Amino acid sequence: MTLDFRTKLLMTVVISLVLLFGNLQGNYPILGLIVTFLPYVFLLLERKVSKAVKGVGLMIFALVLQYYAGLHAFRGIGASFVLFFSIIVLRMGPGLAMGEYSLLTTSMSDLVASLKKMKFPDSLIIPLSVMFRFFYTVKEDYQQIKEAMYLQGLVTSNFFRHPLRMIEYRFVPLLMCLSRTADDVSISAMTRGMAVGQARSSISKSRLSLLDYFWMLFMFVILILMIWS
């Protein structure tokens, strides 16, 4: 199921706000559960099975804890901790999962094209594009460094046995990669013609489909129900 980034952004914002305020869950519990588990359904449809299963398991665990806390099964500090944990997970987890889904399923060209159609200024689009590319490249570089250090026996479990070697052979190469990556990403942005105030073409065909309009309408309905609750 392919959704436009604008739809995914709207869903991320609405789901986060609705669950954070908590009005919907109290007055429409079934609808609240649907909104809670909706991001994990999207992850499952995109074959992110591990993330979806872990998220659903965490939500169910938090719901069970909240239920037993309501029955006064916990006392004192334990009850406070259980309630705090369950509320944080249930109100913030789905929004974070929806944001993760949005980033995992959106290419950089689609992101830039969608932001352009939303009339975002180039002074915001270009830094965002460069930043996301930078962090993704750093993640790949660090993974390669970890694999190289694994051959030398410098795994995370040996950090306290050889802390100086871990810092030297992992973080020093990473810092060197950061410097190189920053230059490469900046040059890449210039090569792509990403300059403030200049028109540029795009291979991305960012457009809203019927499915996008359906989910947008659903989000607006949820938002209205939350306001009226």
| First and final C-alpha spacing in the chain | 31
CB atoms within 10 A of CB 185: 20
Contact 117, 6 (CB under 8 A): yes
Residue 138 has pLDDT above 70, yes or no: yes
Segment 83-121, tens digit of pLDDT:
888 889 999 999 999 999 998 888 877 888 888 888 888
Let me know: does 146 contact 170? Beta carbons within 8 Å: yes
Closest CA to 194 of 116, 107, 117: 116
Mean pLDDT (whole number) for 188-212: 74
Q: What is the pTM of this model?
A: 0.76
Are 134 and 185 within 8 A, CB to CB?
yes
Identify the residue whose tokens are 């009005």: 23
Q: pLDDT (tens digit, 9 = 90+) per residue, 8-67? A: 999 999 999 999 888 888 888 899 899 999 999 999 998 889 999 999 999 999 888 887
Determine if residue 162 is left, alpha or beta; phi over 0 gives left, psi from -120 to 50 gives alpha, anything else beta.
Answer: beta
* Rounded-to-integer distance, Cα 198 and Cα 221, Å: 38
Residue 133 is encoded by which pair of tokens? 């590319």
